[in-house]
C-alpha cells in the first residue's frame, strides 16, 4: 500500500505504476460533466472574470497537485447546515474524456479517480504532465462515503447537487492505479486481450 497525501508531487506520481494500490488522504474536488464543461468554458477558453475568477482562485490551488474525483454524491444536510456524504461511489469516467486532458495539463491535476477508465487523450496527458488515473470500487458507495471525514464546502449548486463541485477531506481512500504516467493502461490492455480472445473463439 502506497500512502499519498494531497498536494501530490510529480515525482511521487511518476513513481507509480499500473497495479499499485494507493491510499490517499487530504482534499479532493468532485467534478462531473457540468463541472468539467464549466472549467473548460469559463476558466481555460477565456480569462475568468467576476464570480468565475473568484471560484478559480479558490479551487485552482487545490487542483494544482490535487485530485479530481468523478463522483455524484448522495448528500444530507444536518440541522446546523453542515453537509455530509451518504454515498460517494465513483461515476463512469469516459464522459469526461473530451475535457480531462486539458484540465490535467492546464490546472496541474495529479490524479483522477473514477471507474471504467479513460481514453488516449487522457493517457497522453498523464504521460506528458505527470498524472495518473485511479480506479475506485464501484458498488461500494456507502462504504466509500465513510472515508469522507468532512465536507468542507460546495460550489455551483445551480448545476444540481450531484454535478456541483464538492470540496471534501478524506482519510485512507483506497484505489488502484490503472493508468500511469509511463503510458500504461490496464483498461486498454483488458480491451485488447478481450478482442484477441473473441477472435480466437469466433474466428473474427
- Tell me which residue of 171, 134, 109 sits closest to 17, measured CA to CA: 134
Neighbours of 34 (CB within 10 A): 16
Residue 151 · residue 131 · CB < 8 Å:
no
In terms of DSSP H, where are the helices of the chain?
10-14, 33-38, 50-63, 97-107, 120-129, 141-145, 186-202
Count of domains forming the chain: 1
Q: What are phi and psi of 179, to 5 degrees?
A: -140, 125
Q: In the numeric block, which cell numbers belong to residue 89?
A: 461511489
Neighbours of 113 (CB within 10 A): 23
Neighbours of 39 (CB within 10 A): 26
Catalytic-role residue among 36, 70, 101, 187: 36
Task: Specify the pLDDT at position 168.
Answer: 98
Residue 6 · residue 12 · CB < 8 Å:
no
Domain enclosing residue 149, as ranges: 2-202
Task: Specify the pLDDT at position 199.
Answer: 54
- Tell me which residue of 137, 145, 136, 26 sits closest to 75, measured CA to CA: 145
The reply to whether 36 belongs to the active site is yes
Task: Specify the pLDDT at position 134.
Answer: 97
How far apart, in whole angstroms, are the C-alpha atoms of residue 164 and residue 32? 8
CATH number, residue 137: 3.20.130.10
Per-residue pLDDT tens listing for the chain (204 residues): 999 999 999 999 999 999 999 999 999 999 999 999 999 999 999 999 999 999 999 999 999 999 999 999 999 999 999 999 999 999 999 999 999 999 999 999 999 999 999 999 999 999 999 999 999 977 677 888 889 999 999 999 999 999 999 999 999 999 999 999 999 999 765 555 445 554 555 665
Task: Specify the pLDDT at position 137.
Answer: 78
Residue 118 · residue 102 · CB < 8 Å:
no
How far apart, in whole angstroms, are the C-alpha atoms of residue 44 and residue 46? 6
Q: What are phi and psi of 161, to 5 degrees?
A: -60, -40
Neighbours of 56 (CB within 10 A): 18
Amino acid at each position: 500500500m502506497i500512502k499519498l497525501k494531497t498536494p501530490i508531487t510529480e515525482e511521487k506520481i511518476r513513481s507509480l505504476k499500473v497495479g499499485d494500490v494507493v491510499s490517499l488522504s487530504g482534499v479532493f474536488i468532485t467534478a462531473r460533466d457540468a463541472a468539467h464543461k464549466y472549467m473548460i468554458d469559463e476558466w481555460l477558453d477565456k480569462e475568468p472574470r467576476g464570480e468565475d475568477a473568484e471560484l478559480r482562485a479558490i479551487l485552482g490551488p487545490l487542483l494544482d497537485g490535487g485530485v479530481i474525483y468523478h463522483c455524484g454524491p448522495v448528500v444530507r444536510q444536518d440541522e446546523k447546515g453542515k453537509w455530509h456524504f451518504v454515498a460517494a461511489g465513483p461515476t463512469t469516467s469516459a464522459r469526461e474524456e473530451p475535457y480531462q486532458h486539458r484540465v490535467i495539463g492546464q490546472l496541474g491535476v495529479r490524479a483522477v479517480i473514477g471507474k471504467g477508465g479513460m481514453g488516449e487523450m487522457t493517457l497522453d496527458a498523464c504521460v506528458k504532465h505527470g498524472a495518473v488515473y485511479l480506479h475506485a470500487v464501484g458498488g461500494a458507495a456507502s462504504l466509500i462515503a465513510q472515508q469522507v471525514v468532512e465536507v468542507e464546502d460546495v460550489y455551483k449548486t445551480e448545476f444540481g447537487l450531484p454535478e456541483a463541485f464538492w470540496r471534501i477531506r478524506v482519510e485512507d481512500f483506497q484505489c488502484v492505479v490503472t493508468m500511469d504516467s509511463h503510458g500504461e493502461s490496464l483498461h486498454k490492455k483488458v480491451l485488447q486481450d478481450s478482442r484477441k480472445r473473441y477472435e480466437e473463439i469466433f474466428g473474427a
